């Protein structure tokens, strides 16, 4: 049975939902999205992006952008991930997303168990992408945006199947790394990539 998605308390408060995509990937940026939904324009079918097909995510992303009061995308680059660590880079992407909104939320609800520093109150909600519509919407936007970026990387590096595994640690990706080596879009601070870098195979 699907998880029931409910609104948080104090519905009169203007709040943004925030989520990320790509935190666990071996390559590419981490992407965050922030969404302020319009209660007068409900969107049917919002759910955790991982539980939706690519076609459904793309359809809902279009609807979200059309009906939301405000939405924004933030990113942290591979260099920032390697320099800061993935958690801090994820927070940076979230900060960029929230601070780029055309409306300033009074409260920010974030999927997970920790929050970045923001100039407004924040609340982390475990499995928020399955409970809070605005977080579900952010999850969808972040996933669609990152998938598009990784498909573009496939065109840049056609010997890597980024259009399929999206930079995550699949068996196919591991085989590609062993055969073709580390690219500039790989996260050198991540253990599976780091162990391939060295005097004989500089990254």
CATH label of the domain that carries residue 56:
3.30.420.10
Q: pLDDT tens digits, residue range 104-161?
A: 999 999 999 999 999 999 999 999 999 999 999 999 999 999 999 999 999 999 999 9
Domain count, the chain: 2
Residues of the domain holding 29: 15-146
Considering the domain architecture, whether residues 122 and 30 belong to the same structural domain is answered as yes
Q: pLDDT tens digits, residue range 24-54?
A: 999 999 999 999 999 999 999 999 899 999 9
Q: pLDDT tens digits, residue range 75-110?
A: 999 999 999 999 999 999 999 999 999 999 999 999
pLDDT score recorded for residue 200: 57
Considering the domain architecture, whether residues 109 and 69 belong to the same structural domain is answered as yes
pLDDT score recorded for residue 2: 36
3 in a domain, yes or no? no
pLDDT score recorded for residue 3: 38
pLDDT score recorded for residue 197: 84
pLDDT score recorded for residue 33: 98
At 173, the pLDDT band (50, 70, 90 cuts) reads very high
Considering the domain architecture, whether residues 71 and 135 belong to the same structural domain is answered as yes
pLDDT greater than 70 at residue 7: no
Considering the domain architecture, whether residues 168 and 103 belong to the same structural domain is answered as no
10 in a domain, yes or no? no
Considering the domain architecture, whether residues 90 and 178 belong to the same structural domain is answered as no
Considering the domain architecture, whether residues 160 and 140 belong to the same structural domain is answered as no
Considering the domain architecture, whether residues 166 and 138 belong to the same structural domain is answered as no
* Average pLDDT score, the chain: 92
Considering the domain architecture, whether residues 142 and 98 belong to the same structural domain is answered as yes
Considering the domain architecture, whether residues 131 and 57 belong to the same structural domain is answered as yes
pLDDT score recorded for residue 6: 42
At 13, the pLDDT band (50, 70, 90 cuts) reads confident
Long-range own/partner contacts, residues 23-26 (CB < 8 A, 24 or more apart):
23/86, 23/90, 24/168, 24/169, 25/166, 25/167, 25/168, 25/169, 25/187, 26/167, 26/168, 26/169, 26/173, 26/186, 26/187, 26/190, 26/192, 26/193
- CA separation for the pair 90, 87 (Å, rounded): 5
Question: Within 10 A of 43 (CB to CB), how many other CB atoms are there?
Answer: 18
The model's pTM is 0.91
1 in a domain, yes or no? no
Considering the domain architecture, whether residues 43 and 103 belong to the same structural domain is answered as yes
pLDDT score recorded for residue 5: 41
Considering the domain architecture, whether residues 37 and 134 belong to the same structural domain is answered as yes
201 in a domain, yes or no? no
Considering the domain architecture, whether residues 141 and 160 belong to the same structural domain is answered as no
pLDDT greater than 90 at residue 171: yes
């Amino acid at each position: 049975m699907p998880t029931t998605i409910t609104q948080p308390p104090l519905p009169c408060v203007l709040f943004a939902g925030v989520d990320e995509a790509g935190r666990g990937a071996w390559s590419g940026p981490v992407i965050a999205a922030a969404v302020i939904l319009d209660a007068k324009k409900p969107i049917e079918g919002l759910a955790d992006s991982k539980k939706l097909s690519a076609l459904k995510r793309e359809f809902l992303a279009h609807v979200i952008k059309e009906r939301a009061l405000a939405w924004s995308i933030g990113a942290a680059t591979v260099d920032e991930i390697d320099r800061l660590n993935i958690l801090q880079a994820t927070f940076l992407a979230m900060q960029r997303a929230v601070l780029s909104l055309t409306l300033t939320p009074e409260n920010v609800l974030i999927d997970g168990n920790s929050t970045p520093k923001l100039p407004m109150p924040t609340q982390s909600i475990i499995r928020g992408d399955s409970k809070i519509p605005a977080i579900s919407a952010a999850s969808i936007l972040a996933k669609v945006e990152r998938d598009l970026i990784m498909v573009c990387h496939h065109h840049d590096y056609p010997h890597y199947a980024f259009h399929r595994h999206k930079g995550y640690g699949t068996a196919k990706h591991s085989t590609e790394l062993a055969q073709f080596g580390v690219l500039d879009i790989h996260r050198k601070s991540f253990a599976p990539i780091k162990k391939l870098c060295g005097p004989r195979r500089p990254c």
